[in-house]
Structure 1
Amino acid sequence: MNPVTPSSGSANGSIAPTDGPEGAAGRSALSTYQDWWRAQAEAFGRTDSDGIALEAYSSGRALSDTVSGLRQLRDAKMVMTGEPRNSPVVKAVDLKADPQTVVIEDCVDVSGWHRVDAVTRAAREPAGALSRYVATASLRNFQAHWLIYDFKREVGRTC
């Protein structure tokens, strides 16, 4: 899988190597990142989800922030419908770090992922919510498995 540049380009035009060990690490981290988003879409689309599946792809602040958001949504008796779209690019790979790290930049498009009442399915989008934003995910390799440990939405940057 070759990296896809976020729509409208990136503030930092460089991408990580796509060949050799760095390329393999980047592709593996990208796969984890995309699986994390699929797990989020599934968890946020159900009223009975506790977010436990997210632990397979994330830890630390990324996991706690996502589970907190899931609880807030559930407490408000809402779910998400549709799916987010992503255009992730591997920006950095450090195989000499301990643990090894990968940084991914993404253009997250949530224009097709909507907050709705869990019972009536009536739209309940918050006013002023962004539909597209740049995000940075930081991943660490633990026991030959990539985990997202930090995810930052750059609300001042659109894509």
Structure 2
Amino acid sequence: MWQDFAQAGHTSDWQSPQLGRYATGIALTNLSRGLYADHYNGLVTKGEPVLSPRVTSADPADDPAKIVITDCGDSTHWLKYRTDNGQLADDKPGGHQLINAIVEKQVDGSWEVTDFGVHDVGTC
């Protein structure tokens, strides 16, 4: 999901069909809204996050339909830039951020992120 989001961020393409490959529901809405806001404000994102996700819970444990994934994502080299002058738009440098995501098994058997939260830099 994050790779597709990072790729769409290079042009702030809030309508990228790739966004829906691994995200649905609230997660997909939040990804699209974030990219639309960047597009509207003349911003693009360059680079990609560094991620090391791990499953921290599964429900039910013996045959999960929902899992929680936790990560300490590094956004140091994944920053926003202004499209009008190419200058860095982030007022804070990137860094390590706690990320929690809910991933649920879909009717077709696939797994998709249904919700996520990204905390402030320095939270992990």
Please state which band the TM-score falls in when normalised by the shorter chain: 0.7 to 0.9
Match in the other structure for 1:120? 85
Match in the other structure for 1:87? 52
SS of the equivalent of 1:155 reads strand
User: What 5-or-longer segments of structure 2 have no aligned partner?
Assistant: none
Matched, 1:132 2:96: yes
The superposition leaves residues 68-89 of structure 1 with CA deviations (integer Å, 9 ceiling, x where unpaired) of: 0000000011100011111111
Higher helix share: 1
TM-score, with normalisation over the residues of structure 1? Answer: 0.69
**Deviation at residue 51 of structure 1 after TM alignment:** 3.0
**Deviation at residue 118 of structure 1 after TM alignment:** 2.1
Which is higher, the Rg of structure 1 or of structure 2? 1
Coordinate RMSD, CA, aligned: 2.3
SS of the equivalent of 1:38 reads helix
SS of the equivalent of 2:11 reads coil
Note closer, same or farther for the CA distance 1:64–1:95 as it changes in structure 2 (3 Å cut): same
Between the aligned partners of 1:47 and 1:156, the Cα distance in structure 2 is 22
- Is the 8 Å Cα contact of residues 58 and 64 (structure 2) preserved in structure 1? no
How many residue pairs align between the two structures? 123
